[in-house]
Amino acid sequence: MTLPSAHSTLNSPMVRPTATGAFALGLGLTNECNLACSFCYRDPARTDRLSLEQVRSVMESLPVRSVNLGTGENGMHPQFREILSYLRTLPVKLTITSNGHSAAVLTDDELRAFHDIEFSLDYPTEAQQDAQRGAGNWALIHDQAARCVRLAIPVTFIAVMMKSNYLRLAEVARAVKRYDSPLRINVYQAVRSDLYALSYHEYWQGFRALFAETDVIAIGEPLVRAMAGLPPRTGGCGVSTVRITPRATTQPCVYWPGAGEPLSLLCSLGSAIVETSPFVEARRVPGACRPCAYLESCYGGCAGRRRLQNALDQPDFYCPVVKGRVEKLEVRMAAARELPKMESSCTTIVIARD
């Protein structure tokens, strides 16, 4: 692997500069799952797992501020408890994203290892959720969320904004307010299929409908942040996040296509992994975006989405400016919260209004 020169990355006006300090780390311990959701980005064709030794090597190679266990259902990993036991000895904020199963297999003491537990909920009713994810999933999620609240463990719910639910997410936010929980929203990315992908108009309609009934905690989705008039953000994909896949490869974004760099390279380079090609590509700014007034809030939009569409050097598909439009968004900010995943991806975090 040949690293680009510092001039070609940090000093070029075409590439967003990296940040300094500790990383938000995403660990996909396994791509196994007890469910088979059709909109999931994980590869269901094979089983891959990180070993405890590989997790140790990652943690010893990078300065890390937070760790999220995601990708598959991590509780299905045969070394899950051993890995969790190791991670909880480290001075990092630990979170997990789960469909309920991984939380259910842990003891109360093990659950307390987490700074925040995320549950995946995409619909506001039991019938819709179970039809998409599987019978009993709604009940499992709510049982485990209530359990976390009893144990004084913060809970966040996460939804994918997609064609089947983009106008229903404020209802989801209301459904989880009983746990004093925010709702974190990722826009659907067409990793395996574009069946659930939003049209341009659905994307903007979805966010308008969401903000009409919720208050904003954070916006990392670049175009939405720009149109909401928020100041430039820090962090984000390719800048201060590193994703480790179950295949023991590194990526700047959980949706980033391609094989990724081998884990051995991260262990060799440490923080300099962000100067390898995938990370530099994730920071690259399309030439057409350079004169834009929203450049520092947007940087060309979601790089992972542009890369998936083989349009890395073009503005984001959802960009209104290149269409001669401005999609101004009215948002009402909520009280600040400490959420480890706030700056880790192109995500939006809201909470239902009282």
Rg (CA), the chain: 19
pLDDT at 233: 79
Q: Would 334 be classed as within a structural domain?
A: yes
pLDDT band of residue 179 (cuts 50, 70, 90) is: very high
Helices (H), 238-344: 263-269, 277-283, 295-298, 303-308
More confident site: 190 or 245: 245
Q: Is the pLDDT of residue 3 over 50?
A: no
Give the residue from 140, 139, 136, 173 showing the smallest Cα distance to 157.
173
Q: Would 279 be classed as within a structural domain?
A: no
Average pLDDT over residues 57-69: 96
Range of lowest pLDDT (34-43, 47-56, 297-306) = 34-43
pLDDT tens, 140-159?
Answer: 999 999 999 999 999 999 99
Q: Would 306 be classed as within a structural domain?
A: no
Residue 157: strand pairing partners: 119, 183
Q: Is the pLDDT of residue 95 over 90?
A: yes
Q: Would 153 be classed as within a structural domain?
A: yes
What are the DSSP calls for 96-132, one per residue?
A: EEESSHHHHTS-HHHHTT-SEEEEE---SSHHHHHHH
pLDDT at 85: 98
Q: Is the pLDDT of residue 29 over 70?
A: yes
* Rounded distance between C-alpha atoms, residue 120 and residue 137, angstroms: 10
What is the extent of the structural domain holding 106? 19-273+327-352
Give the residue from 127, 123, 119 showing the smallest Cα distance to 97.
119
Range of lowest pLDDT (26-40, 75-89, 201-215, 294-308) = 26-40
Burial of residue 227, with CB atoms counted within 10 A of its CB: 0-12 exposed, 13-18 middle, 19 or more buried: buried
The tokens for 255 are 């949706």
Q: Would 166 be classed as within a structural domain?
A: yes
- Ramachandran sector of residue 35 (left: φ over 0; alpha: ψ -120 to 50; beta: rest): beta
CB contact at 8 A, 339 and 155: no
Average pLDDT over residues 76-101: 97
pLDDT tens, 314-329?
Answer: 999 999 999 999 999 9
Q: Is the pLDDT of residue 343 over 80?
A: no
φ/ψ (deg, to 5) at 6: -60, -35
Strands 241-244 and 347-352: unpaired
Q: Would 221 be classed as within a structural domain?
A: yes
Average pLDDT over residues 57-61: 97
Q: Which whole-number Å values give the CA distances from 242 to 14, 23, 36, 249, 311, in the listed order?
A: 21, 7, 26, 10, 22
CB contact at 8 A, 148 and 103: yes
Looking up residue 199, the CATH number of its domain turns out to be 3.20.20.70
Q: Would 39 be classed as within a structural domain?
A: yes
* Rounded distance between C-alpha atoms, residue 351 and residue 70, angstroms: 22
Q: Would 290 be classed as within a structural domain?
A: no
Give strand ranges (E) for 231-298.
241-244, 249-251, 261-262
> Where do we find the tokens 């390279």?
265
Number of domains in the chain: 1
